[in-house]
Amino acid sequence: MDYGNSISYSRVYLVSLLVFFLAVMALAIFAIASSWQNLFLERDDIAYIDLQEQVFEIEGDSLVSRKSLNLELER
């Protein structure tokens, strides 16, 4: 038997398995990073909406939020 060929085949198998494992890990890291980025973007949108609702306008001598002004106008 020629063991030289079986060793080279096992090396090819191990190298291809390593490349496959690294590719799967890279895809997993990319998926996790993009999901965290989307999560932070959604949180930024929520914070921006909250800031928009907390804008105050002067009505006479008191400060009233724009949201409550809009509710009063709808009545």
Full-model pTM: 0.42
> Strand, helix or coil at 2?
coil
Predicted local distance difference test score (pLDDT) of residue 51: 52
As separate numbers, helices (DSSP H) first and strands (DSSP E) second, the chain gives 2, 2
Tens-binned pLDDT, residue by residue, of the chain (75 aa): 456 566 677 888 899 999 999 999 999 998 888 776 666 655 555 555 555 555 555 555 555 555 555 555 555
Predicted local distance difference test score (pLDDT) of residue 12: 86
Whole-angstrom CA distances from 28 to 16, 17, 31, 34 are 18, 16, 5, 10
Number of independent structural domains in the chain: 1
pLDDT of residue 58: 52
Q: What is the pLDDT of residue 31?
A: 86
Range of the domain at 8: 3-74
